[in-house]
Amino acid sequence: MKPPIGGQAVIEGVMMQNGDRVAVAVRRPDTKAVVIRPLPVNRRFPRLGKMPFLRGTFRLYDTMALGMRALNISTQIAFPEEQISKGGTFAAFAAAIVLGIGIFIVLPLFIANSVSWLRLGNTIVFNLVEGLIRLAIFFAYLAGIRWLVKDIRRVFQYHGAEHKVVHTYEAGEELTVANAQKHTTFHPRCGTAFLMTVFVIAILVFSIAGNPDLWLKILSRILLLPVVAGLAYEVQRFAGRHFDRRWIRILAQPGLWLQKLTTGEPTDEMVEVAISALNEVKDAEATTSS
């Protein structure tokens, strides 16, 4: 059985990962040359990253950290005049987390809590409405950056290229542009599908906190995020291993539909970049189990 290979779209390119072997491939806008860079994996919590229900949180941290490093490298290759310091990268990483919590955790909670009949009513109904508001904000955010930011649209196209090439690899086909372009831009192991799972599980987990004062609700959401991430990882992992089952495919459909916002049809040149990244890692044996 082939080891699972995943990836991520970056600036003008794609990052691919096979176990502990990672490569970033970027097409330079000036020369049109494809530059490939290896990216060492630094796992901060290797033992905890293997424990069921705990590994989701720590692997999410490792994935986010790796993704930020890949984005940093891709920016340096594509736009060498725009260098980002380590301090700048850390600041951007921290700002993204704070902004994400503010927009997708605090804001939906504040909106739901401002409605008196929700605030004083049934806990399950409150959390359901809060979750629906969170999803609506998330959809609006993705649609907004997709249609308003040209550079993001190119990143989403590279995201589609990554999925097409991974599908080609998993189908055992030769890694060519023609073969890859026949495949869909949707993939069940995509991080977008994981986020959809997170939002659904959050509705259930946050119900545990009941319906206390607003500041306690905010605190409970933040403290329960590791629980949500851990459960979502296990669900996503199970779904990925049993995607051949019809009921799994049905439940996974919302996550695939969401990828209509986060992927785009890539050009042949984008697919070439994704193939270069996957070729760099596909012959390596994965050194860590998923």
In this predicted model, what pLDDT tens digit does every residue of 219-261 receive, in sequence order? 999 999 999 989 998 888 888 788 888 888 888 888 888 999 9
**What is d(CA 78, CA 116) in angstroms, rounded to the nearest whole number?**
51
Residue type, 117: W
Q: Cβ contacts of residue 15 below 8 Å, gap of 6+?
A: 7, 8, 9, 22, 23, 24, 25, 39, 66, 67, 70, 74, 277
- pTM of this structure: 0.85
289: left (phi over 0), alpha (psi -120 to 50) or beta: beta
What mean pLDDT comes out for the span 10-35?
A: 94
Q: Is the pLDDT assigned to residue 287 strictly greater than 50?
A: no
What mean pLDDT comes out for the span 137-143?
A: 93
User: Do 234 and 50 touch, CB atoms closer than 8 A?
Assistant: no
pLDDT-based confidence at 86, cuts 50/70/90? low
Tell me what pLDDT residue 18 has.
93
User: Do 166 and 5 touch, CB atoms closer than 8 A?
Assistant: yes
How far from 262 is each of 53, 140, 163, 170, CA to CA, in Å? 27, 12, 11, 21
**What is d(CA 231, CA 234) in angstroms, rounded to the nearest whole number?**
5
What mean pLDDT comes out for the span 205-227?
A: 89
Please state which of the ranges 10-14, 53-57, 246-250, 285-289 shows the lowest mean pLDDT: 285-289
pLDDT-based confidence at 78, cuts 50/70/90? very high
H/E stretch holding 98 reads helix 86-101
Q: Is the pLDDT assigned to residue 92 strictly greater than 90?
A: no
Q: What is the pLDDT of residues 96-135, one digit of tens each?
A: 888 989 999 999 999 999 998 888 888 889 999 999 999 9
**What is d(CA 38, CA 25) in angstroms, rounded to the nearest whole number?**
9
